[in-house]
Structure 1
Amino acid sequence: MAYRDETPITTDDVNKLMNVLSVGNIDTVAMQVATWMREKMYGDDVREALAQWTLFSAKISEYLINDEQAFKLDITRTKNDLLERQGQVETRQTDLEEQFKAATANLTQDSEVVLARDSAEYGKFTTLDARLENLEQMAAQHIPAGFTVTLKHNQGRNPKVRVRYYEYALGTEPDGIGTGPKGSFGGINNTDVPYSVEYPDANTCVIHLPQGHILNGKPVFEVDKWRLIDGYKTLSFDLGSDIDVEKALAGNSENTAEIDR
């Protein structure tokens, strides 16, 4: 490429390029500045071309950053709007359900059914169905039935098991580390899970869990424990500290988690 252009780069030339850049025509700007650097005959103009290239690169980066920030802001606003609308819908739905329960309660005349609504332990319920639903919810959280996890631990013994549930552990936040709800960094809602366990052989344990703790996926041994991770939710299975890691890892392909049918 010959240095054949002896004309200087003027303020007018620079202003024209700025106008082109302002409408987003980056290719035209890049081609013009590249041509200056290739063809200008004098050192002053070449240095000016380099300077303009630096300035244009910075300006383009600024546009990209601003666009990304604007996009994130739009996404956040949309998410907040959806959450607000969801809350409004849930409130209206709750109101309708309460109205329906009240109407149902007033229609029932059977004294035995009316008396069965109240519990000496858990208080009064609008309808008998509400009381039964409350019992089912408690059962789903505390009775170890409905979800079965099988661990092929390969330890040659029947280890004592501890099961814990927690949310938003590091690495499980949906949008990256530190993006969970306020106060959730490092994990929240850490609780012991009721369970019963069977040992069909010295290398396998079958763990029965409450239906309220059903998660998708399958448990995998990592470092020191077996973990079943479903989004931001985690079930952790601790079989003690004296774990033969190599044998535990070898059993990962045979671990399962199934809903009881």
Structure 2
Amino acid sequence: MTANYRDPTHITDENLVDMNKVDEVHKLLAKWLREKMYGKDVREALARLAEQVSSDIYDDRQVALELEKLAKELQAKWDKDTQKIIDEWKNTLGGLTVDSEVINARINVKGVVYKTLKERLNAMENERFTIKSGESDVLITLQDDRFSQNHVLVKEGEVDNSKGLSGLIIAEVDNAKQDTFYLKKVGEI
């Protein structure tokens, strides 16, 4: 394609480029192109501009590739987590409940029989304060008359039961407001 250098008018339109978005290297190259007297310097400024633009494009491409990789990793994690939830839901829906299982679940460890499983669950939530110990195979249930629903549990320590002996734990209310319920280790039996 041949060039047609026949426009004698100067560029007088306002520069629409937001100069706050132009980095200092590009500003310097543009300054050289506008102000250098000799063609050799103008050509060098053009060459450096071409190299700088190429470098910028390379950096942008690397960022784009990293973002694409991150997006794929996040999508894979999302897909895996979603599939896990779907599988759990299907397992829940597909699980069979045997009548005897529900009947047995209505009986607590003390042998109290509730009319419905819902009645037993409500009783557990409303009438009991339960401590589960990871160090023990025993589930300890304390009667607290709904005390635990309005108070905070603070773990003070653990009982060493390696000798097969039980630890004695007592409960006390430590302040006048009774806003904290403490269990403390007393000793070994």
TM-score surpassing 0.5? no
Structure with bigger gyration radius: 2
TM-score by length of 2: 0.37
Structure number with higher relative contact order (C-alpha < 8 Å, ≥ 6 residues apart): 1
